[in-house]
């Protein structure tokens, strides 16, 4: 009698073990409370040393219509949506989307990060596996300082390769929430380091290059050359493009987001009051470019409310992206940004109303758990229609289909051959070094103190706590391929080197270690001192209260400068601008270099520049303001100056106050001269005006607002016919070859109220040879580059003289109706 009971007990236990394992693998383990849980993100990180799970496995799961690769992407997406139950649909509205076992669909983590290399911030990425590290390129603000489109594209393309390689071994997803293309409006902003700077034209250009390359444009072009094929493009019935993606890029944070924590304001509860003029002129252009020209497949709406409406609940903002700009992809909320609509912004009366509002506005997925827990009750209350959920899932599945996630075994796909050998390659490491070289900015160089002669500099003292850290990536950084400190790299260039931190850490609250630093400096031929900020001073959820060096750093720099045998070299770290006017004015500080967050190869790049193996050519992508600017409220979103209220304006385009260093500032070991080789002196508009358009001035209530004539751009046709080329020559009068950034600016006719003081309309980075000239050209579209935005948010093209500036020379182009 014992055996049957034993057998039954065994079967009973086996049955419950089976049920436990089944539910463990299929249920979403989200915590039933507000928002995204950091602990949960660790639990749901991809497991290591395994291939990614995938749908459409033969022989049974590949028979669904959504697995049929011969069908158009929209057809497959609609088919998949139609097979789901309402509870299954709702379970997919989170970044950690549940699996659908009955359809053979595994769970998927939408949140991976790749700002300047594969990052560990999102739960979609793990470095605990076959691939323990990834190339860490310079932070975006440093890359922007290179003003080099081809460099940005190359870096993003390398990141895409490493992303696919990590996906293929189960250590990453394929949807990456980068780049950050918000305008660096206020120098105190903790996340300014993540952006390409303060200029909308520069930021737009970066967005286009980064997104195109990350999504596979550069890789596919190179593969086409090598293998004779290119990327697949599928057209839907209505002519929409559904191009295949290598990985998906996401432009964030839409829009007017640039505050973390200032006084009683935080990103979660801040209402950005922005004029239509500033929206059209400054905040929106990067997102429009990212969508229309970069073809981004993802858009992230921000925590911020814009003019009283949370961005993720704004039908107007999301309609502009989809309808006006033609966005094709999915829209995700920032993490917990659906919850904040109710919990922090107090915009709705209930959580269900918040879910209803964001879905109706056009959000497709919630980073966090709020929609998973609140959507079902919103449906039952009649606040959310199932068709809105279907639309969201259609957008999500369309992107996954474009990524090939429903095409079967990824190892047999176009990118299936990528793996561990494609990460941290010699080529990618070299690219990281070149990116750092091009992004480092020489701010001051009295009497050509730099470069140092390594045959003469026998002893070198290195001072400052940042010299001994290998954490050189800034925010959104992963595990770098290699990590050497700035001190270790300088060691390679001198016979004897000594080090003293001077401060215990970057905060530098004590001068107890000053004496040792001063003694060390006195004993050396040359001194390099590191000062500045790091991510303990500026970061997500951390804005700076001051633009001065933290703590007693300035005192340390001045004390060491006074004691050293000869003037010292000051190296500044961090992404945000610093008021170092004391150093700029001190003759004992001969040279100042800004390295920002230079990435894994930053130390080597800096050493090469200090000792003349590389010629610096970086330019600041943001204005460096004096400390007095901190009196300006961070919540004031206005760009234009208002003298009647003692408001100085923001960014180089509108700021009227004093500067420590201006936008575009950057020195070289060479000197350069410019010449306009060819450019028109007159542009006639008569052939581009629509019927009925007339010359006029903008009037309001019978009063003239502008004192110059203009043409509304939307009343012009065939603007392309107005485009003209500006051919320029650059001569390098130095002894060193090197790359040089050429920047073309424009100034409109005087008297046009609210127009920029000056604005960037073109840039190029050239390789120049010592004592030889190099030529380049800029294509100028007057409707785009010479137009301005009026107070109603409309673009107008002023008539009259427009001044093109190149260095210290000008050229006048007259825009006329002939």
Report the catalytic residues: 334
> How is residue 145 annotated by DSSP?
T
Residue of 314, 326, 327, 403 whose CA lies nearest to 363: 314
Rounded to whole angstroms, the Cα distance separating 150 from 160 reads 15
Rounded to whole angstroms, the Cα distance separating 446 from 667 reads 11
Which residue has 């959104």 as its token pair?
Answer: 476
> How is residue 138 annotated by DSSP?
P
Structure tokens at 246: 């290598």
Phi, psi of 35 (to 5 degrees): 85, -170
Structure tokens at 93: 């509205």
Structure tokens at 643: 């003298």
> How is residue 392 annotated by DSSP?
H
Do the beta carbons of residue 397 and residue 404 sit within 8 Å?
Answer: no
Pairing of strands 724-732, 672-678: antiparallel
Do the beta carbons of residue 171 and residue 257 sit within 8 Å?
Answer: no
Rounded to whole angstroms, the Cα distance separating 167 from 162 reads 9
Under 8 Å CB-to-CB from 554, ≥6 apart: which residues? 531, 548, 580, 582, 583
Angle at 247 between CA 246 and CA 251, to 5 degrees: 135
> How is residue 280 annotated by DSSP?
I
Rounded to whole angstroms, the Cα distance separating 471 from 602 reads 10
Residue of 749, 717, 131 whose CA lies nearest to 480: 131
> How is residue 738 annotated by DSSP?
E
Structure tokens at 58: 């033969």
């Amino acid at each position: 009698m014992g055996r049957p009971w034993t057998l039954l007990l065994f079967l009973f236990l086996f049955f419950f073990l089976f049920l436990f394992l089944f539910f463990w693998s299929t249920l979403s383990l989200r915590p039933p409370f507000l928002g995204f849980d950091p602990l949960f993100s660790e639990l749901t990180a991809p497991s290591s040393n395994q291939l990614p799970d995938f749908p459409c496995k033969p022989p049974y799961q590949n028979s669904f219509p959504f697995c049929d690769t011969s069908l158009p992407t929209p057809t497959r997406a609609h088919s998949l949506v139609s097979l789901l139950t309402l509870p299954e649909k709702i379970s997919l509205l989170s970044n950690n989307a549940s699996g659908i076992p009955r359809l053979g669909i595994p769970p998927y983590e939408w949140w991976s990060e790749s700002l300047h290399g594969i990052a560990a911030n999102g739960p979609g990425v793990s470095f605990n596996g076959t691939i323990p590290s990834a190339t860490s390129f310079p932070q975006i603000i440093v890359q922007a300082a290179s003003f080099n489109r081809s460099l940005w594209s190359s870096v993003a393309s390398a990141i895409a390769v490493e992303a696919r390689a990590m996906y293929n071994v189960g250590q990453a997803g394929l949807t990456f929430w980068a780049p950050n293309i918000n305008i660096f409006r206020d120098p105190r902003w903790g996340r300014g380091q993540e952006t390409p700077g303060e200029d909308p034209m520069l930021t737009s250009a970066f967005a286009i290059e980064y997104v195109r390359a990350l999504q596979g444009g550069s890789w596919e072009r190179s593969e086409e050359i090598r293998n004779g094929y290119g990327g697949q493009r599928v057209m839907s019935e209505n002519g929409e493009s559904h191009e295949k993606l290598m990985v998906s890029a996401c432009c964030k944070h839409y829009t007017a987001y640039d505050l973390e924590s200032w006084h009683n304001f935080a990103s979660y509860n801040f209402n950005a009051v922005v004029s239509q003029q500033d929206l059209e002129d400054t905040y929106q252009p990067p997102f429009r470019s990212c969508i229309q020209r970069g073809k981004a497949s993802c858009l992230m709406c921000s925590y911020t409310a814009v003019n009283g409406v949370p961005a993720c609940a704004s039908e107007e903002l999301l309609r502009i992206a989809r309808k006006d700009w033609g966005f094709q992809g999915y829209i995700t909320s920032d993490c917990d940004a659906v919850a904040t609509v109710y919990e922090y912004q107090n915009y709705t009366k209930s959580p269900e109303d918040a879910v209803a509002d964001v879905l109706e506005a056009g959000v497709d997925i919630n980073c966090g758990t709020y929609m998973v827990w609140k959507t079902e009750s919103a449906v039952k209350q009649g606040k959310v229609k199932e068709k809105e959920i279907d639309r969201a899932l259609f957008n999500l599945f369309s992107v996954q289909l474009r990524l090939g996630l429903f095409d079967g075994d990824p190892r047999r796909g176009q990118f299936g051959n990528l793996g561990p050998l494609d990460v941290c390659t010699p080529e990618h490491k070299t690219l990281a070094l070149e990116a750092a070289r091009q992004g480092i900015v020489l701010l001051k160089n009295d009497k050509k103190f730099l470069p140092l002669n390594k045959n003469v500099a026998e002893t070198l003292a290195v001072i400052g706590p940042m010299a001994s850290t290998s954490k050189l990536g800034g925010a959104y950084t992963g595990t770098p391929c290699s990590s050497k400190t700035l001190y270790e790299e300088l060691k390679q260039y001198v016979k004897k080197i000594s080090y003293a931190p001077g401060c215990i850490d970057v905060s530098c609250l004590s001068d107890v270690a000053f004496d040792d630093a001063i003694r060390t400096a006195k004993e050396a031929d040359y001194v390099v001192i590191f000062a500045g900020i790091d991510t303990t001073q500026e970061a997500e959820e951390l804005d700076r209260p001051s633009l001065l060096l933290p703590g007693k750093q300035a005192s340390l720099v001045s004390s060491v400068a006074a004691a050293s045998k000869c003037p010292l070299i000051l190296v500044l770290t961090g992404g945000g601008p610093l008021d170092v006017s004391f150093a700029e004015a001190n003759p004992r500080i001969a040279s100042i270099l800004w390295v920002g967050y230079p990435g894994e190869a930053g130390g080597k790049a800096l050493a090469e520049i200090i000792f003349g193996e590389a010629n610096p050519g970086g330019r600041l992508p943001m204005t460096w303001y004096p400390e007095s600017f901190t009196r300006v409220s961070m919540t004031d979103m206005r760009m234009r100056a208002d003298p009647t209220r003692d408001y100085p304006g923001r960014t180089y385009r509108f700021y009227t106050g004093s500067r420590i260093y201006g936008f575009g500032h950057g020195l070289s070991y060479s000197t350069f001269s410019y010449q306009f080789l060819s450019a028109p002196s007159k542009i006639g508009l008569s052939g581009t005006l629509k019927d009925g358009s007339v010359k006029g001035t903008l009037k309001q209530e019978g009063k003239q607002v502008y004192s110059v004539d203009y043409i509304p751009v939307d009343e012009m046709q065939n603007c392309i016919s107005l485009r003209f080329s500006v051919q320029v020559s650059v001569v390098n009068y130095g002894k060193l070859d090197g790359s040089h950034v050429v920047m073309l600016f424009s100034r409109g006719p005087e008297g046009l109220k609210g127009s920029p003081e000056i604005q960037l309309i073109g840039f190029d980075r050239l390789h120049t040879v010592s004592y030889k000239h190099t030529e380049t050209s800029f294509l100028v579209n007057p409707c785009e580059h010479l137009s301005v935005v009026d107070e109603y948010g409309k673009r107008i093209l002023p008539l009259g003289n427009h001044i093109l500036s190149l260095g210290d020379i000008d050229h006048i182009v007259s825009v006329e109706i002939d």
